């Protein structure tokens, strides 16, 4: 059903975050900050070998330490689900999920092997330092390069992840015949999400076997079903409430081990327990895998693509086949008749990697869009011209139309704003003092999805509205956009609307991820509000001598606490009078938004971007600074330009980190990450981020979601690393195919 028109006062306009006050005053509580009487504290002990068996755990000293209540290990772990599938969650890839403290096997370095629970955080930490674990280590392999030969195509596909399409035409043959060829191998390092809030769970023991769980995650319902499945608890006995999430970026999609440990301890000790991971323990669970790719492009001298071959090998754990979309992007972005795309995995003795902001896309586009830049140089065609020459109005991977695609406008508007026409393509042609200046660009794409989601709207006679959905606001602005949608549905002020999220007692939502939340929860809220409006309108017409008698719903507007005839606003009924006429003091509706099956069969939805970057490279020191970024984004309807811009800026900052700084370095002898802290794992700081300009290109799309929204969480990062690499080439004449592009590589 198409949305009933009502004036858009808030939707589409810049609005400050409704949770702003809570966040700037310290009032917003995150999962480690809920408290309970008699709260006990858990501290995790992690394995120091990558593979082998635990031969003994000496807990005597820990148990004798003041304040220590219990030490949990695989030897005394309370009974949990026997079958590994019981540990599966909503986003688990194929395989058998990791089960904390399950047995004596060590399957990765940093695996939790014990939990010390004590009366205070200090005491638990002290106790943990006293636990002695002995191992029989076995030979491990954590180096992707040495497993390349055993790479395999995952036999079982991960649900929700499109596998590479079947080959089209004859890519190797067409490549051999192409007059212009470029090819290269690309490397992307391990990265860790490092949200500022470390993973934490506070389990409040409510008595009678009931648990109130505050857990850092991106989906309270996913956490709840995991807990109930693993511990055999009824869903009514486990309520998960997470109103604020201090950054997720994918790290909170799957339940992390602190949730298991905190719940286990609370059930055993029959009291409230909190487990908070340290920053270095944040390097002992999910991460972005490292990936090796090869790209071969064959083209005519005018730049027309004749052949695309893009292959990847990604590391995964021994126990799960994690999959993300790495290679499909080239086939989606460009027209080409001969395309071969494959993705393989290689098993390593590590934890299972997972979704990290735009999983697969910035990695794949780094290779694909670097190769396109190389092709631009090989053919002498301008990079934008080259992309326009190979532009496609079809998703040739899927054989479907795009629901909308304003990428052409992104190239145009972005180039104009950046001043691209001034660019001399010659590498090393711009310099200021010691610094070489380079300009590069790249395209970006990310799937625009919508997921089944429900929401509730409750309007009360005093003209206040509450909207509610179980989804999360991980900093994305969900509270704010849902408030805007609710306010506009009834012509209210935003202050009159309360949005509730992150609670398993609220209507259904999948995990918050994939950039689908605004489209999905936004539509659900819109539908619930429409249902309440219909009820309210019926009551308003019931009032004796109602000025709305005989009016049709689509001929009235909701504004200023009343329902008025749009063409004759003097004919109105107030919300309070309408409720009185209906003999109610509140109206409530819950609705479910479903993506249109027909549109999904016919169309694919993508957000697009064209990103332009200026870098300055110190020739003697090899230091790269990103001094200017212009990102033109086509993402359908923009609900709130203020928070939307912030989301894209954040994504670009991530792209800067990926291109230049972020790398978790494994020591393959030990099979563990070495730089597990924020001093040695570098993320961008204020000094690394200069002028960033985001432009939203107009894009009208009614197929991608009923409210025309495509989502913005990922589009900022996708093309950024490639554009930076291309700018570095322009500055220095060096094509660096190994991320992050650190000083040693620039000087090397």
Partner 1 sequence: MPDNPARAATGGPAPARLGPATSPQTVAIELTINGRPRRLAVAPWTTLLDLLREELDLTGTKKGCDHGQCGSCTVLLDGQRINACLVLAVMKDGSAVTTVEGLSGPDGALHPMQEAFIEHDAFQCGYCTPGQICSAVALVEEGRARAPDEIRELMSGNICRCGAYPNIVAAIQQVLASNGGAGR
Active-site residue set? 714
Residue 43 interaction partner, one of ligand FES, partner 1, none, beta carbon < 5-8 Å per kind: none
Which CB, 251 or 732, lies closer to ligand FES? 251
CB of 196 to ligand FES, least distance (A): 4
Residue 7 interaction partner, one of ligand FES, partner 1, none, beta carbon < 5-8 Å per kind: none
Which CB, 94 or 247, lies closer to ligand FES? 247
Residue among 681, 742, 720 nearest 195 (CA): 681
Residue 674 interaction partner, one of partner 1, ligand FES, none, beta carbon < 5-8 Å per kind: none
Residue 28 interaction partner, one of ligand FES, partner 1, none, beta carbon < 5-8 Å per kind: partner 1
Which CB, 172 or 247, lies closer to ligand FES? 247
Q: Return the residues of window 21-60 that contact ligand FES according to CB under 6 A.
A: none
Helices 575-582 and 517-542 sit at what angle, rounded to 10 degrees? 70
Which CB, 64 or 196, lies closer to ligand FES? 196
CB of 61 to partner 1, least distance (A): 10
Q: Which two tokens stand for residue 183?
A: 């090819």
Residue 29 interaction partner, one of ligand FES, partner 1, none, beta carbon < 5-8 Å per kind: partner 1
Which CB, 279 or 400, lies closer to partner 1? 279
CB of 632 to ligand FES, least distance (A): 25
CB of 631 to ligand FES, least distance (A): 20
∠ CA 692-698-700, nearest 5°, is 140
CB of 216 to ligand FES, least distance (A): 13
Q: Which two tokens stand for residue 575?
A: 């919300």
How does DSSP assign 158-219, residue by residue?
PTTSPPPPPPBS-HHHHHHH-SEEEEEEEEE-BB----SSPPEEEEEE-STT-EEEEE--S-
Cβ count near 468 (within 10 Å): 23
CB of 246 to ligand FES, least distance (A): 6
User: Is residue 250 near ligand FES by the rule CB under 6 A?
Assistant: no
Q: Which two tokens stand for residue 522?
A: 């936004």
CB of 23 to ligand FES, least distance (A): 8
CA pair distance 120, 148, nearest whole angstrom: 47
CB of 247 to ligand FES, least distance (A): 5
CB of 250 to partner 1, least distance (A): 12
Which CB, 332 or 640, lies closer to partner 1? 640
Which CB, 444 or 595, lies closer to partner 1? 444
Residue 593 interaction partner, one of ligand FES, partner 1, none, beta carbon < 5-8 Å per kind: none
Q: Decide if 50 contacts 349 (C-beta within 8 A).
A: yes
Q: Which two tokens stand for residue 22?
A: 């809570």
Which CB, 97 or 359, lies closer to partner 1? 359
Tell me which of 247, 427, 561, 622 binds ligand FES, using CB under 6 A: 247
Residue 232 interaction partner, one of ligand FES, partner 1, none, beta carbon < 5-8 Å per kind: none
CB of 666 to ligand FES, least distance (A): 24
CA pair distance 563, 570, nearest whole angstrom: 10
User: Is residue 198 near ligand FES by the rule CB under 6 A?
Assistant: no
Which CB, 4 or 61, lies closer to partner 1? 61
Cβ count near 520 (within 10 Å): 29
CA pair distance 340, 297, nearest whole angstrom: 11
Return left, alpha or beta for 336; rule: phi > 0 is left, psi -120 to 50 is alpha, else beta.
beta
> Going by C-beta distance under 8 Å and a sequence separation of 6 or more, which residues neighbour residue 602?
400, 401, 703
| Residue count, binding to ligand FES (CB under 6 A) | 3
CA pair distance 288, 300, nearest whole angstrom: 36
CB of 689 to ligand FES, least distance (A): 12
Which CB, 167 or 247, lies closer to ligand FES? 247
C-alpha of 418 from chain center:
28
C-alpha of 690 from chain center:
24
Which CB, 475 or 595, lies closer to ligand FES? 475
Which CB, 2 or 26, lies closer to partner 1? 26
CA pair distance 208, 576, nearest whole angstrom: 42
Beta strands 52-58 and 105-106 are antiparallel
CA pair distance 199, 245, nearest whole angstrom: 10
CB of 612 to partner 1, least distance (A): 16
How does DSSP assign 510-536, residue by residue?
--S-TT-HHHHHHHHHHHHHHHHHHHH
Q: Decide if 212 contacts 203 (C-beta within 8 A).
A: yes
Burial zone of 623 (CB within 10 Å; 0-12 exposed, 13-18 middle, 19+ buried): middle
> Going by C-beta distance under 8 Å and a sequence separation of 6 or more, which residues neighbour residue 664?
189, 190, 191, 192, 283, 287, 673, 675, 676, 681
In DSSP terms, 667 is beta-bridged to: 672
Q: Decide if 469 contacts 507 (C-beta within 8 A).
A: yes
Cβ count near 55 (within 10 Å): 11
Q: Containing H/E element for 379? A: helix 361-379
CB of 678 to ligand FES, least distance (A): 7
CA pair distance 446, 711, nearest whole angstrom: 9
CA pair distance 264, 252, nearest whole angstrom: 19
CA pair distance 564, 574, nearest whole angstrom: 8
Residue 24 interaction partner, one of partner 1, ligand FES, none, beta carbon < 5-8 Å per kind: partner 1
User: Is residue 196 near ligand FES by the rule CB under 6 A?
Assistant: yes
Q: Which two tokens stand for residue 348?
A: 């390593």
Give the sign of the dihedral formed by CA 264, CA 270, CA 272, CA 278.
negative
Q: Return the residues of window 621-650 that contact ligand FES according to CB under 6 A.
A: none
Which CB, 218 or 526, lies closer to partner 1? 218
Q: Is 354 helix (H, G, I), strand (E, B) or coil?
A: coil
C-alpha of 222 from chain center:
15
Q: Return the residues of window 441-480 that contact ligand FES according to CB under 6 A.
A: 475
∠ CA 503-508-512, nearest 5°, is 75
Q: Tokens 């991980």: give the residue.
A: 474
Residues that bind ligand FES (CB under 6 A): 196, 247, 475
């Amino acid at each position: 059903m198409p949305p009933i028109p009502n004036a858009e006062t808030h939707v589409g306009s810049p609005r400050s975050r409704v949770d702003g006050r809570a966040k700037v005053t310290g009032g917003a509580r995150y999962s480690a900050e809920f408290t309970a009487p008699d709260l006990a504290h858990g501290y995790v002990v992690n394995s120091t070998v990558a593979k082998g068996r635990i031969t003994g755990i000496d807990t005597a000293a820990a148990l004798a330490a003041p304040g220590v209540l219990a030490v949990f290990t695989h030897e005394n772990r309370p009974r949990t689900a026997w079958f590994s599938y019981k540990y599966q969650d909503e986003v688990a890839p194929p395989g058998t999920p990791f089960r904390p403290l399950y047995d004596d096997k060590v399957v990765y370095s940093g695996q939790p092997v014990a939990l010390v629970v004590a009366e205070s955080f200090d005491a638990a930490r002290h106790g943990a330092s006293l636990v002695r674990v002995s191992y029989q280590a076995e030979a491990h392999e954590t180096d992707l390069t040495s497993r390349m030969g055993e790479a395999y195509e995952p036999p079982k596909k991960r649900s929700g992840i499109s596998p590479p399409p079947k080959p089209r035409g004859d890519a190797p043959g067409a490549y051999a015949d192409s007059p212009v060829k470029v090819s290269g191998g690309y490397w992307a390092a391990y990265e860790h999400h490092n949200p500022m809030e470390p993973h934490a769970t506070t389990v409040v023991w409510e008595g009678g076997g009931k648990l109130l769980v505050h857990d850092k995650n991106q989906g309270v319902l996913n956490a709840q079903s995991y807990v109930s499945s693993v511990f055999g608890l009824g869903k009514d006995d486990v309520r998960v409430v997470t109103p604020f999430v201090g950054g997720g970026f994918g790290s909170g999609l799957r339940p992390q081990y602190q949730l298991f440990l905190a719940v286990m301890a609370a059930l055993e000790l029959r009291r409230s327990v909190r487990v908070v991971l340290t920053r270095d323990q944040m390097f002992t669970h999910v991460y972005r895998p490292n990936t090796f790719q090869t790209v071969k492009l064959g083209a005519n001298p005018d730049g027309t693509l004749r052949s695309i071959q893009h292959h990847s090998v990604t590391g995964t754990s021994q126990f799960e086949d994690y999959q993300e979309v790495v290679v499909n992007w080239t086939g989606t972005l460009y027209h080409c008749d001969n395309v071969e795309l494959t993705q393989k995995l290689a098993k390593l003795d590590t934890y299972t990697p997972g979704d990290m902001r735009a999983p697969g896309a910035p990695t794949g586009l780094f290779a694909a869009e670097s190769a396109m830049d190389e092709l631009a140089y090989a053919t002498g065609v301008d990079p934008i011209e080259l992309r326009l020459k190979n532009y496609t109005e079809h998703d040739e991977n899927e054989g479907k139309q795009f629901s909308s695609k304003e990428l052409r406008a992104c190239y145009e508007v972005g180039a104009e704003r950046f001043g691209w026409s001034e660019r001399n393509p010659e590498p090393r042609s711009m310099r200021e003092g010691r610094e070489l200046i380079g300009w590069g660009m790249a395209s970006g794409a990310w799937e625009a999805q919508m997921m089944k989601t429900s929401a509730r709207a409750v309007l009360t006679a005093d003209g206040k509205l509450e909207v509610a959905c179980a989804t999360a606001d991980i900093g994305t602005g969900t509270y704010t956009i849902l408030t805007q949608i609710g306010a506009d549905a009834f012509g209210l002020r935003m202050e009159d609307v309360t949005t509730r999220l992150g609670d398993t007692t609220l209507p259904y939502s999948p995990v918050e991820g994939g950039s689908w939340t605004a489209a999905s929860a936004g539509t659900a809220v819109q539908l619930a509000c429409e249902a309440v409006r219909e009820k309210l309108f019926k009551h308003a017409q019931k009032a004796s001598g109602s000025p709305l008698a005989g009016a049709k719903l689509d001929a009235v507007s909701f504004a200023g606490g009343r329902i008025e005839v749009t063409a004759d606003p003097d004919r109105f009924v107030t919300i309070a009078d309408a409720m009185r006429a209906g003999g109610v003091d509140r109206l409530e509706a819950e609705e479910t938004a479903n993506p249109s099956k027909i549109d999904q069969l016919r169309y694919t939805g993508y957000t697009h971007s064209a990103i332009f970057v200026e870098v300055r490279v110190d020739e003697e020191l090899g230091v790269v600074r990103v001094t200017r970024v212009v990102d033109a984004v086509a993402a359908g309807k923009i609900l709130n330009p203020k928070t939307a811009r912030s989301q894209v800026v954040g994504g670009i900052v991530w792209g800067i980190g990926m291109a230049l700084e972020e790398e978790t370095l494994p020591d393959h002898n030990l099979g563990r990450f070495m730089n597990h802290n924020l001093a040695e794992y570098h993320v961008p700081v204020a000094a690394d981020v200069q002028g960033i300009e985001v432009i939203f290109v107009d894009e009208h799309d009614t197929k991608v979601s009923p409210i025309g929204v495509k989502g913005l969480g990922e589009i900022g990062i996708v093309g950024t690393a490639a554009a930076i690499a291309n700018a570095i080439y322009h500055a220095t004449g060096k094509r660096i195919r190994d991320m992050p592009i650190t000083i040693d590589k620039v000087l090397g």
